[in-house]
Structure 1
Amino acid sequence: MRTSPASPAASPARPALRWAARILLAVIGVVFAIWLVLFITKGRFLKHPFERVASSLADRKISVAGDFQLYFAPLRIKFLAEGLRVANPGWAGRPDLFAARRIDARIAPLSLIFGRRHIYTLDLDGGSADLEWDAPHRSNTWTFGKPGSGKPLELPRVDRATITGTRIRYVDPRMPLTADLEVDPIVSKDARIGKAVALHGDGTLRDTPFRVTARLLSPDATIGRGENALELRAWAANNVIDVSGKLPSISDIEGVPLHVRAQGRDLSELLGIIDVVIPQTRRYTLTSQLVKDGTDYRFTGLAGRFGNSDLSGRLNIANGDRLHMDAALNTRQLDIIDAAPFIGYNPDIVAAKGAVAAAAATGAGPRRVLPDARLPVAAMQRFDATLDWKIGVIRSRNVPVQNIALKLVLDHGRLALSPLTFSMARGNVASDLIFDTRQRPSAVSYDIRLARTPMGQLLAGYGVAQSGTTGTIQGRLKLEGRGDTIHDSLASASGRIAVVMPRGTLWTQNAQLAELDIGTFVTKMFQGKLKKPIEINCGLVGFTVRNGTAAADPILIDTSKNVVTGRGAFSFDSEAIDIAFRADGKKFSLFSGQSPVSVRGNFAHPTLDVISPQLIGRAGVGLGLAVVATPAAGLLAFVDIGDAKSAACGPVLAGASAAAQRTSKGKPRDDVGIGKAH
């Protein structure tokens, strides 16, 4: 009898398959039962488990105050929550990172496990987000998990969305910056929004109020986490700032090149927002590329104008524990009015009313030119700065200055302009200016050195022709004082001022007018020798400064025809001037006044007095002689016997004080004063 051909192993397989089928049916049944229970109950009973699990995963409290639904409808997960709140870390200024009156979404189930989360539809009403950095700038509210181990919030893909009543608050205490923004309603369909997403709002940056509007011009790219075109405009402190660029995500600007354009009435107001102090400017317009790199904000390709001057270069602002600004700038032409703020003048007042009015606006007294604008001591001690600025030429009728190079270092309140160099009338000026606000009042030092400079070109801007004038001058001003204004520091200053004139030639006209040698002047005029030059052997205009008063020490100019001396003083405090020049001839001259020419008044309005008491007295003597003797005898009072003593040029060219001056025969001079104000 033959047996069945079936394999002996086939019989045990059938029970296994049956068991597998039963298990599968059971799983399907359980899943269906769960689906059915969730569908019938809308998953409302999962509210508290959802809060516990979500809070554990996010490492912060998540709660739902109102209705809650979580179920399959039919194969997509429906999520509805009213009064949803996601808590902030304990250090944050507000309790919630995110809150919404109502969220209604359809979510792809597998996206919760694999890949990026995918939301088919999203209706969000009354949402508010609080984005905040902590004080050390190590943690923020939107990064979940423990500090250093959390992951930033990743926006899901959304196919269709309706978003209304959304507000965003952003706080960065390091800057410090606070912004409250409202997002305009958003409606998208088939993963396309179809129009720009706009927001607007206001806030404060370092206590300066601002308002802002922004638009995301490619919002569909935001949905897909692609490239987003951004346009932003902000108004703050009389300035308008425009920012545009393409962001890799809606909130990521790190390392992204942005185009920035700023314009306003005063650039110092713009930088003052971040506590950076610069001199006041006239209306400006600047463009640049901005890249944020951590705490650094790098502005490259800087170009624009302020007032009638141009500006280009780069600027880096490091917003670390202590703000530091580093800049390298270039200016082809700097208008003299735009340069006025560098010494404390308001350029608009200078342009409209002149330097005296600008000085008065700083608090200076009437008829004064030294500004009383105070150094911003507190601000200078809050930030540090380095600046390398090169200027091609100063645009001015009377100041032939060009090739300016300035190196500035501000370190914890000590401001050093060192060196500050420039060319003036083919001569060079080098200076070192120090304003140390760490000492109270500020310790200020001025060291200005003038290399040999042609007088003809230097004075050409004041109407003096260069022809016939070959003399040069060189000098140095070295003063130290105390005060928080230029006026106060000079009013308390002590030191030395000396201008030396080596050998050269000067118009006869200029010398003869100075000595009032009427006979020689008229004679040369009728002989056609008005422009015949005379020789300058050497000259020194020196002042010793004590407590703000500069006394002639000495004034001594030796020419081929006369010796010019001067006495007197001027005050940096009151700005009063009282100096008398006297020219004594070396040769006999008839009709010579032999009388001092006085310079009086003040810095703002100096006056030249050629009718001096000595000249009036000499005229009286001449009149008396004419009465008691003969008319010809009256002329004797105006005769210069030509007894002026030539100067030894060694002490003159060395800039020595009056006590060291000698005649050409080596004897001490008795006609140059003692270097003190009388």
Structure 2
Amino acid sequence: MADASTAEPGTLPPSPPPHAPAPRHDAGSRALAATIAVFATILGLIVLAWTVLFVTKGRFLKHTFERIASSQSGRTVRVAGDFNFYFDPIATKFLAEGLTVSNPAWASRPNLFQAKLIDTRIATFTFLFGNRSKVNWINLVDGEANLEWDAKRERNTWTFGDPDAKGEPFQIPLIQRAEITGTNVRYRDPGMQIFADIGFQAINANNSRFANAIRFAGDGRARGTPFRLWGQQSSPNEILAGGRNEFELHVDAARTRIDVAGTLPGATVIEGADLRVAVRGQNLRNLFDVAGIAVPDTRAYRLTSHMVKRGDEYRFTRVTGAYGNSDIGGTLTVRVPSDPDDRMLLTADLASRRVDMVDIGPFIGYEPNALASKGAVAAAAASAEAPSGGVPRILPDAPLRVDALKAFDAKVDYRVADIRQPFIPISNIVLGLDLDHSLLKLSPLNFDIAGGKIASDISIDARNPAVVTSYDIRMSPTPMGKLLARFGVAESGTTGTIKARVQMRGTGNTVRDSLATSNGRIAVILPRGTFWTQYIQLSEFDLGVFVQRMFQERLKRPVQVNCGLIAFTVRDGVAAADPILIDTDKNVMTAKGGFSFKDESVALAFRADGKKFSLFSGQSPVGIGGHFAAPTIQIVTPELLTRGGAGVALAAAVNPIAGLLAFVDPGDAKAAQCGPVLAGASAAAQKTKDGKPRKDVGSGQSKEVTKRK
């Protein structure tokens, strides 16, 4: 090769031959190879670890398990005998002989759990990544679990870690199949007043479809009520039957029997299971009292339904049954929140085709058995202390259970097509009940009555110690002939209607107390129409006309009502006439006095003044006295006796004919101006037809009532 120094001027030496290009490496291929290598290494380590665990059964991990479990749980965990723990791709094997897990110091028993033997297969995936482990199979021998809340319901024995941490709700492990022998579960919840002891024993399966069966029985107390339960469950033989567990449960408590039967997806899995539930007892309230839920008293009942659990809801569908002589059906959902600080919620959609009037009485506080056998007066007296003087009471005094209302909320719709044996025709009841943090609303409470309608809105505010009840009851125009047919009013001769409104507000946790302290107004309006009853002339007390019609058999002639108002102003439970004013074609009827919700006394004086001359008229008030449960009518009043005495004196001093002058009615009654009457105005707004203020009606003052007692 020529040297560059010898080359001719202006020329370059030839270039050396190019080298072969360096090989190019694909970065993606390197990453994939590395990933495969890492994965293969991890898989190899897992296989190696699993092989070691499989061969050794993980016995060498016994002390490691005790140390880690004790550290993580904050409890002492010990295994006295053999120990197995190893992973399976599908199910992890765990076995321990003489396993004990201690309780916190405040608990009444030293150990939360102990067992002679626990042998189980746990689904590996849920064990590693799930919030709730799934147990494929468990064999438990001579086990004991002590589940307990503290007195303040702030801590429990199954919440691990910080001993002062808030207690979490108990979750039953999801167990598919189980074989349990000689095992007891003890549960204590002083806050909810629930105490139970349940024992489990293995029994021989009845047929080859089932691999084994477990029988359980126990007793306890719930809110002071003793209960007893028993039942059994048969786990399927997976080779022959596969599938589901047969389950049955029976409970006796508070004169109530509950029977549950059906199939479960797993031994402790009720999610989605369709169970048949039958309940019967003497009083539905007894059953709900055990759960701390307030419902009204009922007569003897029987109910059947299907129950399905979805999340935190227990749904009772296809409910059918009866209480007393009344039928009932529909759906009921009970939501039981996982957080004990949240409130239970009851949602129901119920309906009855026919309801016996007697069966409704307990809803407002009447003693059901006395109501059925003796009537409302006896039922009210049976549920109350005897009032002074032995006067019977009719207003119920069953107390509203304020404490129970604080434990749950409710939304209930209830419809009744027809009422059997009513005092007046009632049908198509629609009730909407809403309970929200101790505020109970009955809205709507509507029903058809004798051709008219009653719409009501009632609220009971129990959020404060002083329970406040508000009443707003409205009656649309209703035919008086149908409404009062059972009280002597002739439907054929009566065309008049009646409409009314009651607005009151009172304090007290019984119907009686709330009315006895109430303030408000009651107004009953009678528009123009005819009215007939065989007692109408007695109320007008025109003796001449009454006697004449009685002997001529023309008593059934209707009375023409131009307008009428029966109204009361209520102050502190005393209702005073404000006003009572009825204008008929021949008379003007007025009344003074009133009644008292405090002692259920009545003190009213009705008077009828004629618009035309009457030769022989009493012209004196007809008194209505006594009490709601035992009213009295006083036709011979002191005023009439005075007039009779005057007539006797005139007859003796002048002549017998002169004695009749004391009973002459000149017919000077002032007709009413119907505008204020039909508007339901107070006595102060009432006027005569000539526009002058009326002075012959009650003024709405409570003193007028007490004066007439």
Contact 2:279/2:302, CA 8 A, preserved across alignment: yes
Contact 1:469/1:506, CA 8 A, preserved across alignment: yes
Equivalent AA in structure 1 for residue 368 of structure 2: P
Equivalent AA in structure 1 for residue 467 of structure 2: S
What's the offset of the Cα at 1:525?
Answer: 3.4
The correspondence of residues 207-356 of structure 1 with structure 2, limited to 5 A, is: 208-217=225-234, 219-220=236-237, 226-320=243-337, 321-356=342-377
Contact 2:676/2:686, CA 8 A, preserved across alignment: yes
Contact 1:290/1:299, CA 8 A, preserved across alignment: yes
Contact 2:175/2:267, CA 8 A, preserved across alignment: no
Please list every run of 5 or more consecutive structure 2 residues that lacks an aligned counterpart in the other structure.
Answer: 1-50, 85-92, 121-133, 161-166, 705-709
What's the offset of the Cα at 1:464?
Answer: 3.1
SS of 1:647's equivalent? coil
Contact 2:523/2:565, CA 8 A, preserved across alignment: yes
The correspondence of residues 8-407 of structure 1 with structure 2, limited to 5 A, is: 49-52=61-64, 63-65=78-80, 68=82, 84-87=98-101, 99-101=114-116, 125-129=141-145, 164-169=181-186, 179-187=196-204, 196-205=213-222, 208-217=225-234, 219-220=236-237, 226-320=243-337, 321-364=342-385, 365=387, 366-407=391-432
| Aligned counterparts of 1:508 and 1:123: Cα–Cα separation in 2 | 82
1:516 aligns with 2:531: no
What's the offset of the Cα at 1:395?
Answer: 1.7
| Aligned counterparts of 2:135 and 2:451: Cα–Cα separation in 1 | 73
- Identify if the C-alpha distance between structure 1 residues 172 and 231 changes in structure 2 by more than 3 Å, giving closer, same or farther: farther
Contact 1:264/1:283, CA 8 A, preserved across alignment: yes
2:9 is aligned to: none
| Aligned counterparts of 1:295 and 1:267: Cα–Cα separation in 2 | 24
Contact 1:88/1:141, CA 8 A, preserved across alignment: no
- Identify if the C-alpha distance between structure 1 residues 632 and 154 changes in structure 2 by more than 3 Å, giving closer, same or farther: closer
What's the offset of the Cα at 1:176?
Answer: 7.9
Contact 2:83/2:97, CA 8 A, preserved across alignment: no
Equivalent AA in structure 2 for residue 231 of structure 1: E
Range 278-287 or range 615-624, more displaced: 615-624
What's the offset of the Cα at 1:310?
Answer: 1.3
Please list every run of 5 or more consecutive structure 1 residues that lacks an aligned counterpart in the other structure.
Answer: 1-30, 71-78, 106-115
Q: Could you give the per-residue CA deviations for residues 497-536 of structure 1, whole angstroms, max 9, x where no partner exists?
A: 1101000001274431212222212323344422122211
- Identify if the C-alpha distance between structure 1 residues 658 and 244 changes in structure 2 by more than 3 Å, giving closer, same or farther: same
SS of 2:359's equivalent? coil
- Pick aligned residue for 1:444 from 461, 466, 469: 469
2:563 is aligned to: 538
| Aligned counterparts of 1:117 and 1:497: Cα–Cα separation in 2 | 67
- Identify if the C-alpha distance between structure 1 residues 174 and 193 changes in structure 2 by more than 3 Å, giving closer, same or farther: farther
| Aligned counterparts of 1:353 and 1:189: Cα–Cα separation in 2 | 53
Range 81-90 or range 666-675, more displaced: 81-90
Equivalent AA in structure 1 for residue 114 of structure 2: A
Equivalent AA in structure 2 for residue 421 of structure 1: N
SS of 2:666's equivalent? coil
| Aligned counterparts of 2:94 and 2:206: Cα–Cα separation in 1 | 20
1:479 is aligned to: 504
The correspondence of residues 661-672 of structure 1 with structure 2, limited to 5 A, is: 661-672=686-697
Q: Could you give the per-residue CA deviations for residues 382-433 of structure 1, whole angstroms, max 9, x where no partner exists?
A: 2211111111122224132111111111111111112211111111111111
- Identify if the C-alpha distance between structure 1 residues 155 and 280 changes in structure 2 by more than 3 Å, giving closer, same or farther: closer
Contact 2:99/2:117, CA 8 A, preserved across alignment: no
Contact 1:446/1:477, CA 8 A, preserved across alignment: yes
What's the offset of the Cα at 1:220?
Answer: 3.5
| Aligned counterparts of 2:511 and 2:176: Cα–Cα separation in 1 | 61
- Identify if the C-alpha distance between structure 1 residues 222 and 302 changes in structure 2 by more than 3 Å, giving closer, same or farther: farther
1:593 aligns with 2:618: yes
- Identify if the C-alpha distance between structure 1 residues 533 and 324 changes in structure 2 by more than 3 Å, giving closer, same or farther: same
Contact 2:614/2:667, CA 8 A, preserved across alignment: yes
SS of 1:263's equivalent? strand
Range 606-615 or range 328-337, more displaced: 328-337
Q: Could you give the per-residue CA deviations for residues 423-477 of structure 1, whole angstroms, max 9, x where no partner exists?
A: 1111111111111112331222111111111111011123433110111111111
SS of 2:237's equivalent? helix
Give the percent of matched residue pairs that are identical in Structure 1 and Structure 2. 48
Across the two proteins, how many residue pairs are aligned to each other?
610
| Aligned counterparts of 2:229 and 2:563: Cα–Cα separation in 1 | 67
Equivalent AA in structure 2 for residue 351 of structure 1: A
Q: Could you give the per-residue CA deviations for residues 112-137 of structure 1, whole angstroms, max 9, x where no partner exists?
A: xxxx9999xx9975333567899899
Q: Could you give the per-residue CA deviations for residues 68-114 of structure 1, whole angstroms, max 9, x where no partner exists?
A: 599xxxxxxxx999951153787996665653346899xxxxxxxxx
| Aligned counterparts of 1:477 and 1:194: Cα–Cα separation in 2 | 68
Contact 1:221/1:228, CA 8 A, preserved across alignment: no
Q: Could you give the per-residue CA deviations for residues 167-215 of structure 1, whole angstroms, max 9, x where no partner exists?
A: 3446799988654322234357998767753211123445644221112
CA-atom RMSD in angstroms = 3.9
Contact 1:133/1:140, CA 8 A, preserved across alignment: no
Range 194-203 or range 633-642, more displaced: 194-203
1:415 is aligned to: 440
What's the offset of the Cα at 1:361?
Answer: 3.4
- Identify if the C-alpha distance between structure 1 residues 248 and 153 changes in structure 2 by more than 3 Å, giving closer, same or farther: same
1:113 is aligned to: none
SS of 1:368's equivalent? coil
Contact 2:148/2:156, CA 8 A, preserved across alignment: no
Contact 2:346/2:409, CA 8 A, preserved across alignment: yes
TM-score with structure 2 length normalisation? 0.77
2:450 is aligned to: 425
| Aligned counterparts of 1:413 and 1:152: Cα–Cα separation in 2 | 32
What's the offset of the Cα at 1:657?
Answer: 1.1
2:649 is aligned to: 624
- Identify if the C-alpha distance between structure 1 residues 117 and 348 changes in structure 2 by more than 3 Å, giving closer, same or farther: closer
What's the offset of the Cα at 1:638?
Answer: 1.9
Contact 1:215/1:231, CA 8 A, preserved across alignment: yes
Range 216-225 or range 355-364, more displaced: 216-225
- Identify if the C-alpha distance between structure 1 residues 174 and 140 changes in structure 2 by more than 3 Å, giving closer, same or farther: farther
Equivalent AA in structure 1 for residue 618 of structure 2: G
| Aligned counterparts of 1:303 and 1:397: Cα–Cα separation in 2 | 24
Equivalent AA in structure 2 for residue 238 of structure 1: R
- Identify if the C-alpha distance between structure 1 residues 376 and 589 changes in structure 2 by more than 3 Å, giving closer, same or farther: same
| Aligned counterparts of 1:536 and 1:179: Cα–Cα separation in 2 | 69
SS of 1:331's equivalent? strand
- Identify if the C-alpha distance between structure 1 residues 486 and 103 changes in structure 2 by more than 3 Å, giving closer, same or farther: closer
- Identify if the C-alpha distance between structure 1 residues 454 and 102 changes in structure 2 by more than 3 Å, giving closer, same or farther: closer
| Aligned counterparts of 1:153 and 1:343: Cα–Cα separation in 2 | 44
